[in-house]
């Protein structure tokens, strides 16, 4: 039994499949996500695959401050991802709503709507930071396999970076990759 | 003894014990070829295995009622028929017992694509239905050529028995037939330039859009087994006939089979990496206009030679 658990833990760590969701981003972070899969950064070495359907994904990668129109869609897509799942917030927008703070068209930041596991700060973050964030989310999924059933509370509450600060090096769940 | 060898063929070589790791290996080659063509390092060797294990451990959305049951059944039917097709391949001559013939092999090879069509429609997803409609249109066009090519080979050898076909002597006609089968394989395996049915990002994941977890793992495995069966069919037709009297001969036949299948996988993967996806009308036109002529040429010459002899 323990063998199967360890096997599943390794598999979770080695095969993170992403679904990319734009919640009103300026497209800067989306371009960087694509760059992370390009020949220069080659995220496929870690088993990362960008999936077309949220049903296939393990990790929901969200960009953008959550706009009023996108809020419902973000929740729907999160529910469509089958468990165990993790959420990675790419860029400063989903973490803090960034320069759009106090806008009346926003209902962000993201963690008002979803339990976020990893924040990747930056405007936009570098592709290697995104890859580090995804690897960290995959490690979190593997950890949950070993230490606790995924039936419990879906995600531990991740410390959110304080508003206005985009580079939180000390925070435990922020991908610690130099900008 | 007959039962034992038949079981060994179904379960060990070229059956399940060989076919499942070979399926993962061919899936890895497929991804690796794309990576190398794009000057990337590519996925690790065990990647398809890890993907499979991970998918087995994921939850699936609730699928109540008979519709849900049918939805869950399609990938299982696809996997079992593809595995059966691999088990039937005449790599090693059997010593009597159940051999199966070409017609059964073709039916088993065709079943996964029918399952994909049915799965897309029964998932009730818009994208699944679009993918299934594309798969159906594609299947109608490439299967004409595929079946004509195989029938022309069978007609030239006067038999539907698989072992006799595996032992045939190469001729211009069989070469033409094998080339036609090779042209059809990318469409049968849904790889570029004929990756329309599961066009990723374009129609989400096509017929597989609603599948998750273990069901998706079964689809991936079925895809890998289709690789093994499709390339294995060509490999057995191409392979030189070796009179097997000892273990050495059997080993040699097995090694030649694996090497040939590997070469064909490499060829198709490089083709897939080098080409872009064709639109549905171009794909259908390609098979109906460009390749049908060769298939008709092959079958008419086969029939002509048959009447002459």
Q: Is the pLDDT of residue A150 over 70?
A: no
> From first to last of its 309 residues, what are the pLDDT tens digits of chain B?
567 777 777 777 777 888 899 999 999 998 998 899 889 999 999 999 999 999 999 999 888 889 889 999 999 999 999 998 888 887 776 555 566 788 888 899 999 999 999 999 998 889 999 999 999 999 988 998 888 888 888 888 888 888 778 777 777 778 888 888 898 999 999 888 888 887 777 788 888 888 998 999 999 999 999 999 999 888 888 877 666 666 777 788 888 888 999 999 999 999 988 988 888 888 888 888 888 887 888 788 888 877 776
A148-157, long-range: CB within 8 Å, 24+ apart, which pairs? A150/A83, A150/A84, A154/A83, A154/A85, A154/A115, A155/A86, A155/A87, A155/A115, A155/A116, A155/A117, A156/A117, A157/A115
Interchain CB contact of B126 with A (< 8 Å) = no
Residue B242: its pLDDT value, please? 67
Structure token pair of residue B70: 């049918």
Domain boundaries defined on chain A: 17-147
Judge whether B191 and B26 are in contact, CB under 8 Å.
no
Q: How far is CA B208 from CA A139, B91, B102, in A?
A: 27, 32, 29
Interchain CB contact of B246 with A (< 8 Å) = no
Task: Choose among A45, A52, A83: nearest Cβ to B59.
Answer: A83
Residue A169: its pLDDT value, please? 47
Judge whether B226 and B189 are in contact, CB under 8 Å.
yes
Residue B1: its pLDDT value, please? 52
What rounded mean pLDDT belongs to chain A?
84
Does A10 contact B213 at a Cβ distance shorter than 8 Å? no
Structure token pair of residue B52: 């499979």
What are A89's strand-pairing partners?
A62, A119
Does A15 contact B212 at a Cβ distance shorter than 8 Å? no
Does A42 contact B35 at a Cβ distance shorter than 8 Å? yes
CA separation for the pair A13, A54 (Å, rounded): 19
Q: How far is A108 from chain B (nearest CA, A)?
A: 27
User: Is B248 exposed, middle or buried, given 0-12, 13-18 or 19+ CB atoms closer than 10 A?
Assistant: exposed
Report the residue of B32, B52, B58, B201 to disrupt the A interface, i.e. the one with the largest count of A CBs within 10 Å: B58
> How many residues make up chain B in this entry?
309
CA separation for the pair A112, B125 (Å, rounded): 30
CA separation for the pair B82, B9 (Å, rounded): 15
Q: Which residues lie below 8 Å from residue B152, measured CB to CB, with a gap of 6+?
A: B173, B176, B177, B295, B298, B299, B301, B302
| Of residues B296 and A72, more confidently modeled | A72
Report the residue of B54, B130, B131 to disrupt the A interface, i.e. the one with the largest count of A CBs within 10 Å: B54
Task: Choose among B50, B57, B61: nearest Cβ to A14.
Answer: B50
> What distance lies between CA A177 and its chain's CA centroid?
15
CATH class as words, domain A17-147: alpha beta
Task: Choose among A7, A17, A50: nearest Cβ to B53.
Answer: A7
Does B205 contact A14 at a Cβ distance shorter than 8 Å? no
Residue A59: its pLDDT value, please? 95
DSSP A100: G
Interchain CB contact of B57 with A (< 8 Å) = yes
Q: Is the pLDDT of residue A113 over 70?
A: yes
Q: Which helix (H) or strand (E) holds A35?
A: helix A28-36
Closest listed residue to residue A89, CA positions, set A68, A69, A108: A108
Q: Is the pLDDT of residue A101 over 70?
A: yes
CA separation for the pair B165, A175 (Å, rounded): 59
Residue B245: its pLDDT value, please? 64
Structure token pair of residue B205: 């994941």
CA separation for the pair A27, A30 (Å, rounded): 5
Judge whether A20 and A33 are in contact, CB under 8 Å.
yes
Domain boundaries defined on chain B: 2-308
| CB-CB neighbors (< 8 A) of B215 in chain A | none
DSSP B246: S
Residue B309: its pLDDT value, please? 66
Q: For B123-212, where are the alpha helices, taking DSSP H only?
A: 126-157, 162-166, 172-188
Task: Choose among A39, A42, A51: nearest Cβ to B205.
Answer: A51
Task: Choose among A17, A53, A82: nearest Cβ to B60.
Answer: A82
Judge whether A40 and B39 are in contact, CB under 8 Å.
no
Q: Is the pLDDT of residue A164 over 70?
A: no
Structure token pair of residue A132: 């580090």
Answer left, alpha or beta for residue B114, where phi above 0 means left and psi between -120 and 50 means alpha.
alpha
Chain A residue with minimum CA distance to B42: A45
Structure token pair of residue B51: 């993907």
Chain B residue with minimum CA distance to A16: B51
């Amino acid at each position: 039994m323990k063998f199967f658990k360890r096997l599943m833990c390794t598999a979770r760590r080695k095969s993170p499949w992403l679904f990319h969701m734009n919640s009103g981003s300026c497209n800067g972070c989306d371009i960087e996500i694509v760059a992370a899969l390009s020949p220069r950064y080659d995220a496929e070495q870690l088993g990362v695959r960008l999936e077309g359907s949220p049903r296939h994904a393990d990790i929901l990668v969200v960009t953008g401050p959550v706009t009023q129109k996108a809020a419902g869609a973000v929740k729907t897509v999160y529910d469509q991802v089958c468990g165990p799942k993790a959420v990675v917030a790419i860029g400063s927008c989903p973490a803090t709503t960034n320069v759009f703070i106090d806008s009346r068209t926003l209902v962000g930041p993201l963690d008002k709507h979803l339990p976020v596991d990893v924040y990747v700060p930056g405007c936009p973050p570098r592709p290697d930071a995104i890859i580090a964030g995804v690897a960290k989310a995959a490690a979190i999924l593997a950890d949950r396999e070993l230490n606790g059933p995924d039936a419990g509370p879906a995600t531990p509450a991740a410390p959110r970076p304080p508003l206005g600060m985009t580079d939180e090096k000390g925070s435990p769940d922020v991908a610690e990759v130099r900008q | 003894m007959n039962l034992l060898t038949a079981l060994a063929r179904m379960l060990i070589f070229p059956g399940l014990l060989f076919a499942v790791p070979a399926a993962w290996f061919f899936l890895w080659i497929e991804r690796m070829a794309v990576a190398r063509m794009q000057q990337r390092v590519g996925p690790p060797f065990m990647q398809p295995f890890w993907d499979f294990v991970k998918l087995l451990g994921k939850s699936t959305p609730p699928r109540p009622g008979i519709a849900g049951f049918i939805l869950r059944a399609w990938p299982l039917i696809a996997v079992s028929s593809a595995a059966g097709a691999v088990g039937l391949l005449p790599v090693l001559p059997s010593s009597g017992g159940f051999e199966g013939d070409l017609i059964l092999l073709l039916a088993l090879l065709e079943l996964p694509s029918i399952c994909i069509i049915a799965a897309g429609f029964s998932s009730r997803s818009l994208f699944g239905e679009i993918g299934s409609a594309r798969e159906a249109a594609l299947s109608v066009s490439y299967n004409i050529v595929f079946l004509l090519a195989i029938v022309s080979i069978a007609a030239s050898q006067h038999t539907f028995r698989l072992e006799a076909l595996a032992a045939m002597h190469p001729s211009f006609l069989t070469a033409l037939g094998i080339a036609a089968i090779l042209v059809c394989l990318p469409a049968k395996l849904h790889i570029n330039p004929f990756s329309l049915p599961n066009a990723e990002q374009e129609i989400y994941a096509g017929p597989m859009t609603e599948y998750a977890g273990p069901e998706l793992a079964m689809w991936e495995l079925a895809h890998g087994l289709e690789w093994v069966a499709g390339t294995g069919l060509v490999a057995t037709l191409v392979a030189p006939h070796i009179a097997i009297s000892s273990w050495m001969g059997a080993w040699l036949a097995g090694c030649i089979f694996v090497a040939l299948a590997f070469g064909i996988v490499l060829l198709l993967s490089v083709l897939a990496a080098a080409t872009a996806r064709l639109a549905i009308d171009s794909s259908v036109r390609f098979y109906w206009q460009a390749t049908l002529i060769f298939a008709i040429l092959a079958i008419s010459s086969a029939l002509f030679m048959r009447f002459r002899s």
